[in-house]
C-alpha cells in the first residue's frame, strides 16, 4: 500500500480536487462583473439545453467522430502493414509513426496553415500544373479542422491497432487459408474480429482528445468552426463565466465517461466471445 501513496496523492490533488471544484461551480452563477456568486442555482443547466450550445456540442461530436472514422480507415492498413514487416524494420516504422510527437503541437498546427492557405504549397502546386484556375478555399473550413485533428491524433490510432494485430497468432490466418478462405474472407472473419479490442481502444484515444481540442479549430477553423473546447475556453478566459464554463465541461466529462463505459463493456463482451 505504501507504494500506492504517491500515485494516489497525485490523482487526488490533480484530478479529484479540480473535478470537485468544477462540479461545485456548476451550482453557482456569474457575478455582474465576473467572478462567482455563491448562490445555488440550476440556471447553468438550463442554458446548456439552449439550441445554440447543443448545436456546438453536436458539431463537436460530428467532427470528432469523422476524425475517428478517418483515423481508423487510415490507421488500420498502416498498422497491418507495419505488423507484417520484418521484425528489424518494425521499430523503424513505429518511430516514424510517433515522430511528429517530437515536435511541438502548436508548431505542427501552424505548418498546416502554411500548407492550406491561398498562397500555400497545395494551392501553388495545383495552380502551377493547371489543375485549378484560382486558389481553393482549404483553410478556415470544417475540412481543415478535421484534417488537423486527423494529423494530430492518427498515431494514437495506429499504435493500439499495431499492438492488437502483432499479438494475433499467425496460425489462425494460416488455418483459414488452408480451409479455402480467400484473403478478404480471412480478414473479415478472423483478423478483424480478433483485433476489435484494439479498434475500440484506438477510437477512444482519437475521439476523446478530438472532442475537447480548441487549438486546431481556432487556428485552422479561423473561428468559423466552433467546437465545445473553444466554447469552454471562452467562458473561462473571455466571458469570465466560470460556473457556465464548468457546466459545459461537466457535460463533456459525462459524454466521455459514457463513452469509456461503453468501450469497457464492449471489450469485455469481445473478450468473453473470443474465449468461448
* CA–CA gap between residue 202 and residue 148 (Å, rounded): 17
Helix axes 242-275, 228-237, angle to 10 degrees: 150
Q: What is the pLDDT averaged over residues 167-178?
A: 86
Domain range holding 156?
60-227
What is the reported pLDDT for 58? 95
Q: What is the pLDDT averaged over residues 27-33?
A: 86
Distance between the two ends of the chain, CA-based, in angstroms?
Answer: 36
pTM for this model (two decimals): 0.89
C-alpha cell at 39: 448562490
Domain assignment present for 32: no
Domain assignment present for 137: yes
Q: What is the pLDDT of residues 97-153, one digit of tens each?
A: 999 888 888 899 999 998 898 888 888 888 888 888 888 888 999 999 999 999 999
The C-alpha angle 130, 133, 134, rounded to 5 degrees, equals 130
Where helices occur in 41-182 by DSSP H, the ranges are 43-48, 51-84, 87-98, 105-116, 121-128, 142-167, 170-178
Domain assignment present for 132: yes
Domain assignment present for 242: no
Residues 6+ apart with CB under 8 A from 116: 122, 138, 139, 144, 147, 220
Question: Is residue 149 within 8 Å of residue 210, measured between CB atoms?
Answer: yes
Q: Which CATH number fits the domain that encloses residue 134?
A: 1.10.3720.10
User: For the chain, what is the domain count?
Assistant: 1
* CA–CA gap between residue 110 and residue 148 (Å, rounded): 10
Q: What is the pLDDT of residues 247-269, one digit of tens each?
A: 999 999 999 999 999 988 988 88
Amino acid at each position: 500500500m505504501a507504494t500506492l501513496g504517491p500515485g494516489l496523492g497525485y490523482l487526488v490533488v490533480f484530478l479529484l480536487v479540480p473535478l470537485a471544484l468544477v462540479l461545485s461551480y456548476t451550482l453557482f452563477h456569474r457575478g455582474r462583473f465576473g467572478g462567482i456568486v455563491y448562490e445555488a442555482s440550476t440556471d447553468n443547466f438550463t442554458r446548456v439545453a439552449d439550441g445554440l450550445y447543443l448545436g456546438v456540442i453536436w458539431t463537436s461530436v460530428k467532427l470528432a467522430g469523422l476524425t475517428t472514422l478517418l483515423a481508423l480507415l487510415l490507421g488500420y492498413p498502416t498498422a497491418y502493414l507495419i505488423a507484417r514487416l520484418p521484425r528489424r524494420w518494425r521499430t523503424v516504422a513505429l518511430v516514424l509513426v510517433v515522430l511528429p510527437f517530437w515536435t511541438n503541437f502548436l508548431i505542427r498546427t501552424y505548418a498546416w496553415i502554411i500548407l492550406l492557405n491561398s498562397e500555400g504549397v497545395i494551392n501553388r502546386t495545383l495552380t502551377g500544373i493547371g489543375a485549378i484556375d484560382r486558389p481553393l478555399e482549404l483553410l478556415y473550413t470544417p475540412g481543415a479542422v478535421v484534417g488537423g485533428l486527423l494529423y494530430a491524433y492518427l498515431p494514437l490510432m495506429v499504435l493500439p491497432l499495431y499492438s492488437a494485430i502483432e499479438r494475433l497468432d499467425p496460425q489462425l490466418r494460416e488455418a483459414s487459408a488452408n480451409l479455402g478462405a480467400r484473403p478478404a474472407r480471412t480478414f473479415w472473419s478472423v483478423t478483424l474480429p480478433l483485433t476489435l479490442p484494439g479498434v475500440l481502444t484506438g477510437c477512444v484515444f482519437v475521439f476523446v482528445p478530438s472532442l475537447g481540442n480548441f487549438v486546431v479549430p481556432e487556428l485552422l477553423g479561423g473561428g468559423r468552426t466552433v467546437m465545445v473546447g473553444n466554447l469552454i475556453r471562452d467562458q473561462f478566459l473571455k466571458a469570465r463565466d466560470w460556473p457556465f464554463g464548468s457546466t459545459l465541461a461537466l457535460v463533456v466529462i459525462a459524454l466521455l465517461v459514457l463513452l469509456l463505459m461503453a468501450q469497457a463493456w464492449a471489450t469485455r463482451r469481445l473478450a468473453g466471445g473470443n474465449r468461448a
